[in-house]
Structure 1
């Protein structure tokens, strides 16, 4: 085996991060993050978009160095970032070859060692024993079979000659994920692994992660996956002291702990603000008395005027000192989604719609005022195509789309457009926003005038949602709306969709969201 090959450590594997700090452009991204991953432990990393979840994964994997803190690694690591870019003429086979390089090298080394043993070369027995140990540690004989099984289960491309450039973003991700699941690493670091999976793929992934001997670290917004898989949670959400929180007892323990933490935060913030307002009012009152109210009528003796003046001055300075001593030390609690009031009177319909090469079976549907529709089906069944036709972004080959000219349609596509140099504020204004961008609770004030390309994937997704809401649409068309969103925002969005008067058409593989909309009318694409 090559000396650069790292064999799995199995039971001896450990991945430990201690007091991780990292800043970008002078802005802190991680502060005091810490976790210890051992074989069989399963961690979830959650938090608001832009809080450093993907950054922490990169630090754990060793692809990014922290500014301070330590990471100790013993064992092999498989990292799945949110996207796999197509480089040049790379094929599916190239990704598989790279993932199984060590296993195949181990088998070649074993063959060579066996041949040397047969020739009775000096030291051949030791060489064969070493090669056999490496092959066994890597479980090299079954490596290709494991990857093939994962490709099939995830619905990934199995033609090794297929160029990556011909696959969708989701198609490339599924190939890479299958390779990682089949490679039998000591640690699996997975960034939003459910974004591009259908029901069968989700079931397979959940099963693999709950039975693997590897240590698992998940960055995910998928509440169903977290509930089924994780044993501990690192919460990078804003906190009162801006330090991460660690919760045991799985996802349920995290939800209970987070709710209690937020309740304490809001109560303490409100209490400090109320006290600050009270002291401010007292100071203003003391100032008024000092200026006007203490003066007695003309003719009152000078000694009495001097005595009252001195008392009012002392009171004023005491109020100043009290206000100065009462700084509001608790930061303002995090943003919350505030869906604007959307109009009710809307009807959108399709009659016998097909799209060549993408939607073969004719589709007819009608969604009326405040109507709801859940579009369901496997990957490739045409859900995104259907929503694009409803939005007027894609012309049908046959059939018609009907929507009144006066009705505004808001369309959230599955992926964000390529980011540019425009700011969120300018894009919102260009979209004809009739509500205040800041009032939606989707972006922090400091993000409104930054170039969009400087925002994280999750913050760009928040902007996408803000642009959809800009003109208060009569109809909301949402294609995988939970992709890249934080758990807290997903919960808030789910509640808002239940309350809004607008018509809503939703396509999602998010199992928790699907359970939440189980009572909606459903259109299953086949």
Structure 2
């Protein structure tokens, strides 16, 4: 049964349409993922569906009493409002009564109000009567249940919470109204892995429909029953899995490219005809001229697919082999233990991901690694010739009042990149900013566009030590995959903080897992190896609780015992490509051998025969090297398993 219908929707800001005659039907209980490039209008579409943005033309039809609620992309961060009040506001008038009731309850408990107790009790009684009449007790219970589910402190102020906690509060506000359609805009941003998994489970059990925007590919694969693709103002539906969508989308783009090429060929032929017609005849086929004018109009209206970003890092001279060495490190802030007898050696070329719940100390450890935070005890040795490029998840390096070009170029019209001078507008086009967008103030950008602007600023700086603190938030998937490639190929050292499981799996060679109480365990590999380690930990604890007759399972590796290192992303990719390379060399070798065995081969010129013989010898030499390399990597892979 359909609960929402979008019919012939038109909406434009400026010249390009965000929605250009869009149709969409949402069925009860389905989970749709809305994908598209940064700035395509995904967040705007959610605002259209919940009534916060009006269409220029077309209609949004809400079937029956369907309740729609939207999780905002950026909940209020600097508000003195309490968590309870912010969540209760979603319940409209009853929420206002609950807010006052909650505050008076606190005043009566603490007895800190300047009002007399009689006045408070009188008002308290009136509120109780109002709540009974409005079925408010059930709603209060619902608020308390949601806050408990999300482990949220009811009386904490919004301004006291970090980004991850603010996302939880926004989610609580969305869930408390028990909507038929839940709209989620990047719900996994700032959430740690455990919270993302909880969210996945909760949404699978949620009885209503869900329409969500996300860059987290693992999250999309776990949840989506249908992919909705917003591309250049048009909406296409792809039922089924995310991987099936990727395949069909690529096929559709290839069909579009072929159609456009055929159209352009026809247009070029007609342009030649009309010019020749002017010279050759006094009269022309006016119908054909009108058809040409229509072709010109269609070509002018065509919106080309936005190209891919062209990201690359300027690498400085190599650092010393040793980047950081710490032994027996201890660090605490009050009762919170960040590091407890922690030892770590970082060498040039390591790609290390910091993984753990929000507030566990990942950012503090980064400051320790950079020499910006002193430890309580322990020995630290920093490497030499370190050139650090730091991606700040809060985007503090961007001035919201300045344009993208002013932020990235720091007021200069020309920047030095790759050893040559480039105009700032040309450089920013590599990061998918048109000249008009480059002159736009940062405050007017979407979250993903701001992240791209920060990457553009960061990559102008030569570095050999790259620190990325939540770089994947809000990035479209194409840019995210390109960033993965850059991190994997980076010749320097990388420290990465991310809750994106797939991103960590594709880039990290090892993980520092924050387990609590100052314990930080180094695990070689990515999230998959972390999950295996945690499963072993859980299994061992279960065995310990069983009787002595139980057969013990294998104990997990201790923190001090490093598991064998798996192949790095680059080595694994090299191993995966070798069979294809060997096959190509053997095919070329067989073809050359067939040519040489032909009786007429040596009747050809010396230049031709010697070239073929030289190439055959080169192939044989290369095959030996490739086969030896394949054997070497296979052995390494077996040792790590």
Shared fold (TM-score, shorter chain, > 0.5): yes
Q: Does the C-alpha gap of structure 1 residues 276 and 186 become closer, same or farther in structure 2, counting only changes over 3 Å? A: closer
Number of the residue aligned with 2:353:
374
Matches of 2:59 and 2:392, distance apart in 1: 40
Measured after TM superposition, the shift of residue 86 of structure 1 is 4.4
Number of the residue aligned with 1:443:
433
Number of the residue aligned with 2:338:
360
The answer to whether structure 1 residue 16 and structure 2 residue 10 are counterparts is no
Matches of 1:360 and 1:149, distance apart in 2: 26
- CA contact under 8 A between 1:51 and 1:237: conserved in structure 2? yes
User: 319, 326, 336: which is aligned to 1:346?
Assistant: 319
User: 432, 435, 456: which is aligned to 2:446?
Assistant: 456
Matches of 1:277 and 1:465, distance apart in 2: 40
Q: Does the C-alpha gap of structure 1 residues 331 and 66 become closer, same or farther in structure 2, counting only changes over 3 Å? A: closer
User: 399, 409, 432: which is aligned to 1:429?
Assistant: 409
Matches of 2:449 and 2:361, distance apart in 1: 27
- CA contact under 8 A between 1:236 and 1:245: conserved in structure 2? yes
Higher mean displacement: 221-230 or 16-25 = 16-25
Q: Does the C-alpha gap of structure 1 residues 314 and 458 become closer, same or farther in structure 2, counting only changes over 3 Å? A: same
The answer to whether structure 1 residue 97 and structure 2 residue 88 are counterparts is yes
Measured after TM superposition, the shift of residue 95 of structure 1 is 2.0
1:84-139 CA distances to partner (integer Å, 9 max, x unpaired)? Answer: 114653101212332456788999xxxxxxxxxxxxxxxxxxxxxxx999969x97
Number of the residue aligned with 2:387:
408
Q: Does the C-alpha gap of structure 1 residues 141 and 98 become closer, same or farther in structure 2, counting only changes over 3 Å? A: closer
Measured after TM superposition, the shift of residue 56 of structure 1 is 0.8
Higher mean displacement: 418-427 or 478-487 = 418-427
Q: Does the C-alpha gap of structure 1 residues 178 and 501 become closer, same or farther in structure 2, counting only changes over 3 Å? A: same
- CA contact under 8 A between 2:404 and 2:437: conserved in structure 1? yes
When the two structures are aligned, how many residues end up with a matched partner? 450
Higher mean displacement: 174-183 or 262-271 = 262-271
Does the residue aligned with 1:177 lie in a helix, a strand or coil? helix
- Structure 1: tracts of 5 or more residues without a match: 1-11, 108-130, 288-309
- CA contact under 8 A between 1:99 and 1:180: conserved in structure 2? yes
Measured after TM superposition, the shift of residue 502 of structure 1 is 3.5
Number of the residue aligned with 2:150:
151
- Structure 2: tracts of 5 or more residues without a match: 99-130, 516-641
Measured after TM superposition, the shift of residue 80 of structure 1 is 0.8
1:144-179 CA distances to partner (integer Å, 9 max, x unpaired)? Answer: 453134222xxxx32x22111111232122122134
1:408-453 CA distances to partner (integer Å, 9 max, x unpaired)? Answer: 3221111223643322223222296525524633423432222222
Alignment of 1:24-423 (within 5 A): 24-25=13-14, 27-73=16-62, 74-86=65-77, 88-99=79-90, 140=139, 143-152=142-151, 157-158=152-153, 160-238=154-232, 242-267=233-258, 331-340=303-312, 342-343=314-315, 345-347=318-320, 348-349=323-324, 351=326, 357=333, 360-361=338-339, 364-390=343-369, 394-397=372-375, 400=380, 402-405=382-385, 407-417=386-396, 419-423=399-403
- CA contact under 8 A between 1:232 and 1:250: conserved in structure 2? yes
Does the residue aligned with 1:506 lie in a helix, a strand or coil? strand
Measured after TM superposition, the shift of residue 43 of structure 1 is 1.3
Higher RCO, 1 or 2 (CA under 8 Å, sep at least 6)?
1
Cα root mean square deviation, aligned: 3.9
Does the residue aligned with 2:171 lie in a helix, a strand or coil? helix
Measured after TM superposition, the shift of residue 208 of structure 1 is 1.4
Matches of 1:382 and 1:267, distance apart in 2: 52
- CA contact under 8 A between 1:106 and 1:135: conserved in structure 2? no
Measured after TM superposition, the shift of residue 54 of structure 1 is 0.9
